[in-house]
Chains A and B, each alone.
Chain A
Amino acid sequence: MIELRDVSVAYETSQVLERVSFRVQRGAFTGLAGANGSGKTTILRLMARLHTPHTGEVLVDDRDVASYSRRELARLVSGVWQRPSLSFGFTARQIVLLGRTPYLSPLRWETRDDEAIAGKAMEETQTAHLASRIASTLSAGELQRVFIAAALAQQTRVLLLDEPTSFLDLRQAARLSALLKRLSGNGITIVCASHDLALLRRHATSIVILADRQASTTTPDALTREMLTRVFDIHEEEWYA
């Protein structure tokens, strides 16, 4: 479904990824784990073409993402990003409806069908009751679910999630976890970058560990303490502290 081939990315001061290659299987739940700055968000951004690699290529459905138009790609890949700016007070419904953008044009405005799809996405994410609330008045968990609803309204086969549980309290995180489980069960390919190892271990079918500009694929069962110590540089005593 998605493949990175020999991808290298460097920012102004540092190389983030160096000749990274891995594959995400159709319908899989892939977890991205790694320390801050290891390139988890970068990989998600590459997959949505919000960033272009310096070398190598990113393939979606065996085609280079660069060869898609924005609109075509948006029908295949959707994402939920950190820190959306909400200065103008959109309502939850408006945000979710904006998920229909790749299917609309100046000559084709949203129809009842689009509204129905958005409504269904909101029900699925348990946000229907928030529809006319202004987004900036929502809690972090509610907002996270609204953006997932927008991504669902986009009706893509791939869903990218960047730190979906950060800023969530335990109850909200549990709700989100249940939602991810349902989505994954519906056959959506999910790539999720997270520090929340419990979340990844619970849902992921495979884990990509990012360390030292390299990616290595492993299974959730292999997320052992030794490995974490290696990747995150945690010492035994800190682990128990």
Chain B
Amino acid sequence: MLNAYLLLFLILTGWVTGNPDSVVSAQPRDIHPPTRIVTLAPSCAEIVAGLGLGDKIAGVTQYTDWPPRVQSLPKVGGFTDFSIEAVAALKPDLVVATDDGNPSDALRRIERLGIRVVTLKLQSYGAIEESIVTLGDAVGRGQQARHLVAEMKRVEACVAARTRNVPHPSVLLAYEMAPIVTAGAGTFTDQLITMAGGASITHDVATPYPRLTIESVVARKPGVIIVSSMNPQLDTKRWMEWLRKWPAIPAVQRNRVHIVDSTNVDRPSQRIVIGLELLARTIHPTLFAHGECRAELP
């Protein structure tokens, strides 16, 4: 019986990782500019602000820090465990949510309160631009949205052009170091590494966010290690010292361990192109020494 349970789970998990998720798309309805907006993820706030509606944001979730004015706004909770009532209490006429973490049943309940919800598809890099346009059209800022997307495309093309004819080093991008958590195939981060001219060492791993042992890191020989940290000042010294014990890793040997601020690379908004260039510069320091592709975003 115990074995049966385990077996069942092993079979099931194989299924699950193979299934793309059904996603909620933003449906443009009647276009009237919102006056009070609650955003349910940092990325949503960034997109809303990018469309020029930053001053209409009335409430946000924890860790939302851009644009700076939102830091003093009321918080409605975390992005997976926000309080529906706290959202309702702000009397918003638009809630901007993401399919990448906001529980869909909670979003349904907000809609049943008569509040308009636009759910952005932000699970893959390609969907970001699409979602920006959809939201822009839904709030009467289609022009602005297309401008943002054009600028994103410019930076992407610029980075691609500069990295096209150079070798792509193998890269480990870790969100956590104890244990080492990284991004598997098909994730947003995986795409970002590829676009920045790197080759993720876990590009072949089907699990979305696999945990690696230090042994498999040694075995996969990353040429560059990038630690995405929420607190770079605190983490830099610690992880550098810890990794130094593994000189067999090429990245350690060649002193190619870098710490980046996670807010630059883990938020699927138009600002991700800033992170893209940051990553590209981290992987190819000589090619991007002077901010060659510098994104111009509001």
- Within 8 Å by CB, do A and B touch in the complex? no
